Amino acid sequence: MNIPKELKYTKDHEWAKLEGQTAIIGITDFAQEKLGSIVFVELPPVGKIFQKGQTVVTVDSVKAVAEVYAPLTGEVTAVNDALRDTPELINRDPYSEGWMFKLKVTGSAETGILLTADAYEAFIAEEEAKG
């Protein structure tokens, strides 16, 4: 399983790449694997403000419909338009081509509660052990 060390993670299986006041957000390799083939992604409007924990993106796969939550509070500054036509980019490359949206972070204190790669890996192992 691919868990890039430079990213931060949530227990809802989102990743965040922090670049100053901007966070690039997507779902983890673990999440896309659990979902299976992704067939549709509903992206948020640019300019919309989300509170940490609110649903920002809806992902439809052959197995389920999943929600992607805002890992931080902020304003959407960009979305990955390529996902509208080729949602399977998330399956192929969840950490690069499959990014979902960019957020101008307003709740910067929240970044401290995101998980490191090691903590996220331990969380997944714990979840899988539960069955």
Report the run of H or E that residue 126 belongs to, with start and end.
Answer: helix 117-130
Cβ atoms of 43 and 101 closer than 8 Å: yes
58 - beta bridge partners? 42, 67
The pLDDT of 109-130, averaged and rounded, is 94
Mean pLDDT of the region 77-96: 98
Q: How confident is the model at residue 107 (pLDDT cuts 50, 70, 90)?
A: confident
Output the CA angle 17-19-21, nearest 5 degrees.
Answer: 115
Domain ranges of the chain: 8-106
**Nearest residue to 65 via CA among 101, 35, 100:** 35
131, pLDDT greater than 80: no
pLDDT tens sequence across 87-96: 999 999 999 9
Assign a CATH topology to domain 8-106.
OB fold (Dihydrolipoamide Acetyltransferase, E2P) (2.40.50)
Residues 33-58, buried b or exposed e (16+ Cβ, 10 A)?
eebeebeebbbbeeeeebebeeebbe
Asked if residue 106 has pLDDT above 80, the reply is yes
Could you tell me if 12 and 1 are in contact, meaning their C-beta atoms sit under 8 angstroms apart? no
| pLDDT at res. 109 | 85
* Predicted confidence (pLDDT) per residue in 11-50, tens digit: 999 999 999 999 999 999 999 999 999 999 999 999 999 9
For the stretch 57-74, pLDDT in tens is 999 999 999 999 999 999
- In this prediction, residue 63 carries a pLDDT of 93
Q: Mean pLDDT over residues 106-124, rounded?
A: 93
